[in-house]
Homo-oligomer: A and B are copies of this chain.
Amino acid sequence: MELSCKTEYALLALLELSSHYQQNEPLQIRQIAAQQHIPDRYLEQLLAVLRRGGFVRSQRGPKGGYLLAREPWKITLLEVINCLEGQNPQPPKAPVSPPPTAESAMVKEIWLEAHASSLSVWQRYTLEDVCELRDARQQLNLMYYI
C-alpha cells in the first residue's frame, strides 16, 4: 500500500483536527494548510471527500471551518486510507489485462497476502494513538536536551 500524496495530506489534516478536538471549535482550511504545509485549494478538495466519508463536518460562514465528526479514538488510519484510495480503485493490474495464467494467479494471491499484512498495520492505529505517540516522542526528544 503506497500512500499517495493525497492520502498523506488527508491524514495530516485529520491529525491536526484531532489535536484540537478538545476545544470543540472549528479549524479553518487555511489554518490546517499552513500548519501542515499543504496547498490550501487542494486541501479543500480532500476535506470535501473526508466530509462525504463521515470523518469531518463543516461549519460554513464566518468563524466556520472543519471539525472531526467522530471521536479521534474511533477513527483508524485504515478507514481514512480506504476513503481516499477508494475513489480511484487500483488493483494490481496490467494495462490491458491479459488472460490470467497459473503464475499470475499465484502472484496475485501473494500480493493479496502482502497487502493484507500492511493494511493490518494501518488498522492498528487510531488518530488518537498517533497524537499520543507524537506527544510521547516529543517529550523524549526534549529530555535529550536537559
Instruction: Give residues in A with beta carbon < 8 Å to B.
Output: 1-3, 5, 8-9, 11-12, 15-16, 35-38, 77, 90, 92-95, 98-99, 101-107, 110-111, 113-115, 117-122, 125, 130, 133-134, 137-138
Pick the contact of A117: B77, B105, B121 (CB < 8 A): B121
Which residues of chain B are near A77, meaning CB under 8 Å? Answer: 110
Residues in B with CB closer than 8 Å to A103 are 11-12, 15-16, 36, 130, 134
Asked if residues B110 and A130 are in contact (CB atoms below 8 Å), the reply is yes
Complex: A9 Cα to B95 Cα, angstroms: 12
Main secondary structure on chain A at its contact with chain B? helix
Interface residue from B101, B104, B115, B122 paired with A110 (Cβ < 8 Å) = B122
Shortest Cβ gap from A37 to chain B (Å): 3
How many copies of this chain are found per oligomer? 2
Q: Which residues on the B side are within 8 Å of A93 (C-beta)?
A: 5
CB-nearest residue of chain B to A14: B103
Q: Is the CB of B106 within 8 A of A130?
A: yes
Chain B hits for A8, CB < 8 A: 92, 94, 104, 107
A38 neighbours in B (Cβ, 8 Å)? 98
Question: Cβ of B138 and Cβ of A102 under 8 Å apart?
Answer: yes
In contact, B130 and A121 (Cβ under 8 angstroms): no
Is A106 within 8 A of B94, CB to CB?
A: no
